[in-house]
Amino acid sequence: MGFKLKTDGLSPGLGNDFRNDLVDNFSEIEKEINSLDSIDTDDQVTKEELDKKLDELKNDFIKENEALKERINRILLGIDVESIEIVVNSILKEKGVID
């Protein structure tokens, strides 16, 4: 679907430079409008696709948040093996027992 703007039919009554500028502007606008037809629709995303992706991200965030809460609770209870190892190694390095 192409558009053809009336660019050459403008009156030179306002001056040739002004007319030529208008013709050039309309020509550029015409090119841009016609280039819109060639936009790849594969790059466009529907609202439903965006909503689905947002829901997936929200669910991932909720899962990660729950996992973080569980880890914080294990740390507070002193039963998180990973954090205990980090603290013990830090203390042993500080005391010079290990390098």
Q: What is the pLDDT of residue 15?
A: 77
CA distance 37 to 47: 21
DSSP 95: T
Rounded Cα distance between 72 and 77, Å, is 9
Q: What is the Cα–Cα distance from 23 to 8, expressed in whole angstroms?
A: 6
What is the pLDDT, as a whole number, of residue 6?
Answer: 61
Q: What is the pLDDT of residue 44?
A: 77
Whole-model pTM above 0.75? no
62 closest CA partner among 19, 70, 25: 70
> What are the boundaries of each domain within the chain?
1-44, 45-94
Per-residue confidence of the chain (99 residues) as pLDDT tens digits?
566 666 666 666 767 787 788 888 888 888 888 887 666 666 678 899 999 999 999 999 999 999 999 989 988 888 889 888 999 999 999 999 998
Give the pLDDT confidence score for residue 78 in this predicted structure.
85
Distance CA 92, CA 94 (A): 5
